[in-house]
Amino acid sequence: MAKKPPRSRRPSDTVNESIADGGELHQVAPSVETSLTTNQGLPVSDDQNSLKAGARGPVLLEDFHLREKITHFDHERIPERVVHARGYGAHGYFQAYEGNDELTKADFLCDPEIKTPVFCRFSTVAGSEGSFDTARDVRGFATKFYTREGNYDLVGNNIPVFFIQDAIKFPDLIHAVKPEPDRAFPQAQSAHDTFWDFVSLTPESMHMLMWVMSDRAIPRSFRMMQGFGVNTFRLVNAQGKVKLVKFHWRPKLGTFSLIWDEAVVISGADPDFHRRDLWNAIQAGDFPEYELSVQAVDEKQAEKLDFDILDATKIIPEEVIPLRPLGKMVLNRMPSNFFAETEQVAFCPANLVPGIDFSDDPLLQGRLFSYLDTQLSRLGSPNFQEIPINAPKNAWQNLQRDGHMRMRVDPSRVSYEPNSLDMAAPREAGPDGFQSIPIPTEGTKLRQRPESFADHYSQAHLFYKSLTEPEQRHVAGGFAFELGKCQELKIRRRMLGHLENIEPKLAEMVAEKLGMEGEADEIQPAVEVNRRIKPSPALSQYAAAPQTIAGRKIGVLVTDGTDAKLLDALVKKAKAEKATVEIVAPKVGGFTTDDDELRPADHFLGGAPSAVFDAVVLAPSAAGAQELLTTAAAVDWLRMAFAHLKIIGYTAEAAPLFEAANVDPDADEGVVVIQGVKVGDFIEAAKRHRIWEREPKVR
């Protein structure tokens, strides 16, 4: 008798089975009227798992339910992207380091003499094209490499994990986070019932939620944001040796974020904050640079890890498998036309080159279908690769013909292969072409989540445990704000139950902020949470943050009579540190310095709150300070900078503003008096980025 396959495990089983008394999470017994069906009316037995060849095997093309569900989802927006609609991109190049041929035969990763052209697009996920830059959200980080062997697309995010383990749940996730369909709001926000209802019933989301509720979801700029391939891929070298890899992008300037109150202010003052930052940096010749690295393991090493490497909700801690640098990317040119390039660029993780291949990660397997299907809808033609931004730089030729918007004219008589009528027609490349790695596959055809995917809390606990105290406070604040927007108490109680599994201290902080102490639902984890796991310092942005102001923006509040020599000294010192200075005056027409020189202002006070700067200097004249005291915006400028934990420099003439703003100029090391033109102490203090010790006093 054939062995009966194990029961298909749904992500919500651990929740449903753990709450025996309330009953609210238990599935209602289906009837003919309530059963979930396909568009053809066929009842669906399992809407949680793709059809695979074995629980850890590849997803099968015959999975009609997966294809129908994702095809419908891919075509829900015309012409805007369904996800990642709001994006901004730049051109540049990638250059490999020496010695990568031991790991891969990919030409662009092995030859240090090549500068491979790239186009990189950054984006938010949930908002529409017209939403704002600083929303709390995952950020897309997609790179198209125009290699000599064809285009390669590394399509990832600024967070190394994802909400779901199987692509069949992607439409549900995005439907939950998008504006609720009966009311069409909220826009570009996850702080509402449908999102938290879905994730609270999907325990596999817990690790990702920790990242999204942290400062990682509100980056300071695209130039200070990490990127990750998220899924597991394979690299193969010329000798056929294979490694499983995770891709990482690391910004040269370091990884920094906004804080929530600051992001809220910026969204109103400058909805294009991240776009403007990237544009201004490149126009100024301050080219963003990122290092591409991988974590590489062989199959035997992967089997010894305490999680499944095919599970996209898990990371490999860098202390377990260190990063191996492969090369650097420099972005040095903005598009000539936003629509023609940034809007029409079409990424697809199925775009590979020899030396790179897929794993059986079920999230990745679904993406391989979804991205191509999306481009067919969004760009309206199977010939979207002929759009210049998508066209490979090397010669391309095949026997595909016709279709909407075909641009290329093929004079040959034949459009099929094999043929004997046109000996010049393209032929198979044989061993020189792309060849999939011959990975053995054998398994029972079924819909099932492998048991190795069942631990949903240990790495969420690891993330929280690895953060600094201010970062932990911000995670609690993120959860409290978002859950506070949920009207349904049962959703908040479920999430508090999950948080207790992740970290009781975190659950207590969030419950206290919500006024719901002792109201958490009890949720039994499917796998015991590993609380003995060692912290991973690499997960913290600030545990070892670089002491630099490179790439930062210093705002200087001036008035008529401001010291010209001080301004010049500040600009010179900032430039030497690769930072920029921007002048904020009461009026946009400019100001007159103490030597009667009329100088332009970059901003007027009412249009540039201190939130848009990384550090600030108050340098009014004595008379100007008295005038500023009559302006609420000036007092708020200082008060807000202090509340946002910024480094504040000031001259003696600015002292009255501190009294008006109720800010102690001797409060901490982040408030620095500037005497004469000696700005060095302020610049050194600004390298600390923020004064975290101030936070408990102002919140």
DSSP H/E element including 15: helix 13-18
DSSP assignment string, 612-653? GSSEEEE---HHHHHHHTT-HHHHHHHHHHHHTT-EEEE-GG
Q: Answer yes or no: do 209 and 315 share one domain.
A: yes
Is residue 487 in a domain?
yes
pLDDT average, residue stretch 463-487 = 98
Q: Answer yes or no: do 557 and 532 share one domain.
A: no
Q: Answer yes or no: do 356 and 494 share one domain.
A: no
Q: Answer yes or no: do 371 and 294 share one domain.
A: yes
pLDDT average, residue stretch 671-683 = 96
* 539, 568, 583 - which closes a domain: 539
pLDDT average, residue stretch 253-265 = 97
The tens digit of pLDDT for each residue in 526-540 reads 999 999 999 999 999
pLDDT of residue 34: 76
CATH number of the domain where residue 309 is located: 2.40.180.10
Output b/e per residue, 219-228; b: 16+ Cβ within 10 A.
Answer: bbbbbbbbbb
Residue 209 pLDDT > 50, yes or no?
yes
Report residue 618 as tokens. 């108050």
DSSP assignment string, 62-126? T-HHHHHHHHHHHTSSSSS-SSS-SEEEEEEEEEEPTTGGGT---HHHH-TT--EEEEEEEEESS
Spatial distance between the Cα atoms of 104 and 110, rounded to a whole number of angstroms: 7
Residue 78 pLDDT > 60, yes or no?
yes
Percent of the chain residues topping a pLDDT of 70: 95
Residue 81 pLDDT > 50, yes or no?
yes
- Which is more confident, 274 or 417? 274
Q: Are 144 and 118 in contact (CB under 8 A)?
A: yes
The tens digit of pLDDT for each residue in 408-441 reads 998 999 998 899 999 989 988 888 889 999 999 9
Is residue 341 in a domain?
yes
- The average confidence (pLDDT) of the chain is 93
Report residue 575 as tokens. 């430039």
Q: Answer yes or no: do 303 and 359 share one domain.
A: yes
Q: Answer yes or no: do 508 and 593 share one domain.
A: no
Q: Are 571 and 565 in contact (CB under 8 A)?
A: no
Residue 97's domain comprises 68-386
The tens digit of pLDDT for each residue in 290-341 reads 999 999 999 999 999 999 999 999 999 999 999 999 999 999 999 999 999 9
Q: Answer yes or no: do 614 and 488 share one domain.
A: no
pLDDT of residue 13: 43
Q: Answer yes or no: do 529 and 629 share one domain.
A: no
pLDDT of residue 33: 67
pLDDT of residue 368: 95
pLDDT of residue 699: 81
- Neighbouring residues of 640: CB distance < 8 A, sequence distance ≥ 6: 265, 609, 610, 611
Residue 554 pLDDT > 70, yes or no?
yes
pLDDT average, residue stretch 149-153 = 95
Q: Answer yes or no: do 560 and 599 share one domain.
A: yes
Is residue 34 in a domain?
no
Spatial distance between the Cα atoms of 269 and 609, rounded to a whole number of angstroms: 7
* 386, 408, 434 - which closes a domain: 386
Spatial distance between the Cα atoms of 177 and 186, rounded to a whole number of angstroms: 9
CATH number of the domain where residue 506 is located: 1.20.1370.20
* 539, 568, 593 - which closes a domain: 539
Q: Label each residue of 481-518 as H, E or C.
A: HHHHCCCCHHHHHHHHHHHHHHCHHHHHHHHHHHCCCC
Three-state secondary-structure class, residue 224: helix
Q: Answer yes or no: do 366 and 239 share one domain.
A: yes
CATH number of the domain where residue 623 is located: 3.40.50.880
The tens digit of pLDDT for each residue in 327-379 reads 999 999 999 999 999 999 999 999 999 999 999 999 999 999 999 999 988 99
Q: Which of 433-447, 561-575, 579-593, 623-637 has the lowest mean pLDDT?
A: 433-447
Question: So which residues are the catalytic ones?
Answer: 84, 157
Q: With bands split at pLDDT 50, 70 and 90, how would you rate the model's confidence at 396?
A: confident
- Neighbouring residues of 672: CB distance < 8 A, sequence distance ≥ 6: 647, 648, 649, 650, 681, 682, 685
pLDDT of residue 12: 42
- Count of the separate structural domains present in the chain: 3
Is residue 284 in a domain?
yes
Report residue 126 as tokens. 């949930």
Q: Answer yes or no: do 468 and 348 share one domain.
A: no
The tens digit of pLDDT for each residue in 610-659 reads 999 999 999 999 999 999 999 999 999 999 999 999 999 999 999 999 99
**167: which DSSP letter?**
G
Is residue 60 in a domain?
no
CA-CA distances (angstroms) from residue 154 to 75, 149, 659?
23, 15, 53
Residue 77 pLDDT > 80, yes or no?
no
Residue 2 pLDDT > 50, yes or no?
no
Is residue 429 in a domain?
no
Q: Answer yes or no: do 367 and 252 share one domain.
A: yes
Burial of 95 (0-12, 13-18, 19+ CB in 10 A): middle
Q: With bands split at pLDDT 50, 70 and 90, how would you rate the model's confidence at 57?
A: very high
For residue 207, which amino acid is it? H
Is residue 400 in a domain?
no
Q: Which of 12-16, 43-47, 269-273, 480-484 has the lowest mean pLDDT?
A: 12-16
Is residue 448 in a domain?
no
Bridge-based pairing of strands 553-557 and 580-585 is parallel
